Structure 1
Amino acid sequence: MRVTNRPDLEIAGIGNAAGGEYYKVKMEGVCKIDGPIDCFEFEASGMTTVGSLRAEQRLKVNGKLTSHGALQAGNAELEGQITVNGPLRADHMSMNGFVRVKGHCELKQSKARGALIVDGWLTGEQIEMKLEGPLQAEGIKAQRLVVQHSGKGNLRKLIESLLPHNWQAQAQARTIEADIVELEETVAQVVRGRTVIIGRGCDIDRVEYVSELIVHPQAQVRSRQQIEG
């Protein structure tokens, strides 16, 4: 896309602006954008609301961001509480906080810590998640998937304030598929992969693996089957 002739947009303090096409958008404070934003770079700190958002190269959020539509970014750096009322798509995502996606979530590469709740499928190439809250999706599909329990980290107070009292730092999905799967504290009906490592705290109905299966003594797998690759 051509971006060199686009204007910049900057708001500091309390303010609002119209949606549109911009080169660089910078929001500081309590900001509202009425409509969709299509830009090259988007940076927000504080509390920001947008109609929908496409940041072709870089999206950086520190604070609270609410998108009333889809969110798309090249490189997404998310810190705090992010709500996407639609699908989320990013080439690279780093996350430290709580992200809620009311649609599918498509990530090529992702390193996340905190809580991630997806109404649809979570898909990608390389997905790594350190649980300080729930990871929930209808299904998860990746080339390499790593889910680890991070213990009681600094994000717990934030997540405790945002979720019901009965939440658990646990991954839940009906189906999980990846070439390489490493799981901790995960509940699923089916886990399928070439190399599958079922770690501590997992409760899996069925595991289908091609070459290798390792199950922790403190994990439960009700059915396991080696299949052809």
Structure 2
Amino acid sequence: MEGLWMKTGSKNNLVIAGSGSTSGGNYNDVKINGEGRVNGDLECVHFRTNGKSEVKGGIQAESVQVHGVSKVAGEVKVQQFKVNGHAEVQADVKSEEVKVYGYAEIKGRLSSEEVEIKGGVSIKGDCEAERFSVKGGFHIEHMLNAGNIAIDLYRTSKVKEIGGEKITIRKPSHSLLDKVKMIFNLSGELSAESIEGDDIYLEHTRAKVVRGNHIHIGPGCEIDRVEYKGSFKSDKEAKVRDCVQQ
């Protein structure tokens, strides 16, 4: 079945119901209910997948919502990027707000004002945001740079470098974490080469270097070197091999 076009104002709506494909273009709302493919760049107000979709170009829109599985070959530039299933973007994602309640794989960079992860995300490039919060896990191959970083570790996470103003990395309460680990066989730990910020609190983190003004190393941490300016505190269950006040 090919796409169905419905006139709304000066632009058409595009609906693919069942299975079908269409060319790219400029639309009002785009909905894929079933399995659909767009062969080119797509510019629209709202894009929504309720099944399986593939866009052979990029997407520029006010919002992208994935309820199912979606693969995008080009850059995604939107105001809101929301994933309730599985999304793969083979280029950069630029969005004012990113919410992932499933899993997102981004082969380029992620730039956003606010990133909220309640699931998992993999980013090949850098991640830049004003606020970055996670209740789940993530893998960032390069740098995470955000003003406020709040991470609840439900699974093993990895990042090369972290930079921010306030950085808080915690492990959830033992009772809740134990239930999650029993169901999904997961462990919560973060590994990084360097972490740098103003106020830093870490739990269950492995890092080569932690630099900052006020640093609190909590339980389960293994840190090779801490460099601090203001204050430093270390939990008795943490391992800090070298500590220097600058």
Q: Same fold (TM over 0.5)?
A: yes
Q: Which runs of 5+ in 2 are unaligned?
A: 1-9, 12-25
Among candidates 16, 31, 36, match of residue 10 of structure 1: 31
State the Cα distance separating 1:32 from its structure 2 match: 1.2
Report what 2:120 is aligned to.
Answer: 98
Deviation at 1:31, TM superposition (A): 1.2
1:74 counterpart residue number? 96
Distance 1:223 1:58 in 2: 43
2:125 is paired with a residue whose SS is coil
Following superposition, the deviation at residue 226 of structure 1 comes to 1.2
Identity %: 25
SS of the equivalent of 1:92 reads strand
1:190 to 179, 202, 209: 209
Q: In 2 relative to 1, CA 68–171 (structure 1 residues): closer, same or farther, beyond 3 Å?
A: same
* Aligned mate of 1:60, from 60, 68, 82: 82
Which residue among 198, 202, 206 is the counterpart of 1:179? 198
- Deviation by residue 1:3-29 (Cα, 9 ceiling, x = unmatched): x97522111111112322211111111
Larger radius of gyration: 2
2:129 — aligned with what?
Answer: 107
Residue ranges of structure 1 left out of the alignment (5+ in a row): 161-166
Partner of 1:212: 231
| 2:66 is the alignment partner of 1:44 | yes
Residue 83 to residue 198, structure 1, CA distance change in 2 (3 Å): same
State the distance in 1 between where 2:166 and 2:178 align: 24
Q: Which amino acid aligns with 2:143?
A: W
Residue 104 (structure 1) shift: 1.1
- How many positions carry a matched residue from both structures? 218
Taking the aligned partners of 2:78 and 2:182, their CA distance within structure 1 comes to 33
The 3-state SS of whatever aligns with 2:57 is: strand
**Structure 1 residue runs of 4 or more that deviate by more than 3 Å after TM superposition:** 153-160
Give the TM-score taking structure 1 as reference length: 0.89
Higher relative contact order (CA 8 A, sep 6+): 1
CA contact (8 A) 2:137 2:153 kept: yes
Cα gap change, 1:17 to 1:42, in 2 (>3 Å): same
1:200 is aligned to 2:219 = yes
Q: More deviation in 105-114 or 16-25?
A: 16-25
